[in-house]
Amino acid sequence: MPYSVPKLTDFSSAALDAAAGELLFALEQESSAVSSENDWKNFRDRWMARKNGVLTQVNDLWLKAAPKDAKREVGQRVNELKAKVERSVDATLARIQGGPSSARLADERVDVTLPGIRRPLGAQHPVIKTMNEIIGVFRNLGYSVEEGPEIETDYYNFEALNFPPNHPARDTQDTLFIAGQDSKPLRDRLLLRTHTSPVQIRTMEKMKPPVRVICPGKVHRNDAPDATHSPIFHQVEGLAVDTNITFCDLKGTLDHAMKALFGSSVKTRFYPSFFPFTEPSADVQISCIFCGGTGTRDGGPCRNCKASGWIELLGCGMVDPNVYGFVDYDPKKVSGFAFGMGVERIAILKYGVDDIQLFFNGDVRFLEQFA
């Protein structure tokens, strides 16, 4: 028996629910039986024809017949049913034609004039940015980039760099050692590298001169964190080995690099120092970028250079001939220089940051200033 709209006598919510349920069930069934355009026209007319369509009957038999106090609710429901029937008729046509119904199109409409969702762009961390800048300066001089492991052996971190076992220079670079290695020979024991200098050795082991490399990376030390120290920081190491390389080449290279990093008015000064793997060794100082090297600022002593006019920035020297002995280079034929600088230290100066910890706390308010 096809569905026919019943007369209603009970206008309670429950009775209306039941009547609407039956009607929708019939709608569903009849819709799914539609398989041609002709079927669909019949289906549409049966449900929507002005004269005696199901909806018209619902209007007459349910709404018009409803007592006054039920009119409001019945009216609402009849409207809902009407919307559902219209959608179903639409969707049925779309189904047999194989396209989306206009109801679905309306549902999924996208307003392309609305503003889009802005995805915040990531940015380089200031330490990485500074590191890349340093690398860029040396790349332009023809250096290539080499990297090495952060977990290093005692041999590469110390011994081959001419720090003999028990040499006091080791005390300045205490670090974490991997536990439980007592049965291994000292040189094979693993530790967190204290500097990027071991990459010099690894590079010379695999390349013959001429060598010009820059070695960026993370290093570790037993240093309590404070405004200028961190147990983890970054260095960029440099190494140039060739025939006839002199201290003049070292001075010229680093003077150029400091000017490229801090501005062409910066001066450099080389101060005698000691590193086991270079002889002679020097600390490089640059003229204070805060007071222009005068030592005074705002009418008082410059705090950044302690009124000296100079800021110590990196270590360097001529590669010690002993080091060549570890990598099969002939110190009678080649010579070279090396240098190592702390990336955070340079970033602090370049950006006027007053606490190294800010680089590691991950506070976006700090970091986004460098974006």
Q: Which spans of this chain sit near ligand DAH (rule: CB under 6 A)?
A: 195, 197, 237, 275, 278, 315-317, 338-340
**H or E stretch at 219:** strand 211-220
At its nearest, how many Å lie between ligand DAH and the CB of residue 111? 59
Specify whether the CB–CB gap between 90 and 98 falls below 8 A.
Answer: no
Based on CB atoms, which residue is closest to ligand DAH, 274 or 370?
A: 274
At its nearest, how many Å lie between ligand DAH and the CB of residue 335? 13
Based on CB atoms, which residue is closest to ligand DAH, 293 or 315?
A: 315
DSSP 59: I
At its nearest, how many Å lie between ligand DAH and the CB of residue 245? 13
Based on CB atoms, which residue is closest to ligand DAH, 5 or 192?
A: 192
Based on CB atoms, which residue is closest to ligand DAH, 216 or 315?
A: 315
CA–CA distance from 203 to each of 97, 190, 328 (Å)?
Answer: 70, 19, 12
Specify whether the CB–CB gap between 150 and 190 falls below 8 A.
Answer: no
Ramachandran assignment for 257, one of left (phi > 0), alpha (psi -120 to 50 degrees), beta (any other): alpha
At its nearest, how many Å lie between ligand DAH and the CB of residue 304? 21
To which residue do tokens 């590079």 refer?
203
At its nearest, how many Å lie between ligand DAH and the CB of residue 338? 3
Based on CB atoms, which residue is closest to ligand DAH, 92 or 203?
A: 203
Based on CB atoms, which residue is closest to ligand DAH, 130 or 197?
A: 197
At its nearest, how many Å lie between ligand DAH and the CB of residue 371? 30
C-alpha span between 192 and 218 (Å, rounded) = 10
Residue whose C-beta lies closest to ligand DAH: 340
Based on CB atoms, which residue is closest to ligand DAH, 278 or 287?
A: 278
Based on CB atoms, which residue is closest to ligand DAH, 101 or 197?
A: 197
At its nearest, how many Å lie between ligand DAH and the CB of residue 191? 14
For the record, the structure tokens of 93 come out as 């046509």
Specify whether the CB–CB gap between 134 and 216 falls below 8 A.
Answer: yes
Q: Which long-range contacts (CB under 8 A, 24 or more apart) does 58-67 make?
A: 58/5, 58/23, 61/5, 61/6, 61/7, 61/8, 62/5, 62/8, 62/19, 65/7, 65/8, 66/8, 66/11, 67/11
CA–CA distance from 171 to each of 168, 224, 281 (Å)?
Answer: 5, 15, 18
At its nearest, how many Å lie between ligand DAH and the CB of residue 293? 23
Phi, psi of 232 (to 5 degrees): -125, 130
C-alpha span between 153 and 157 (Å, rounded) = 6
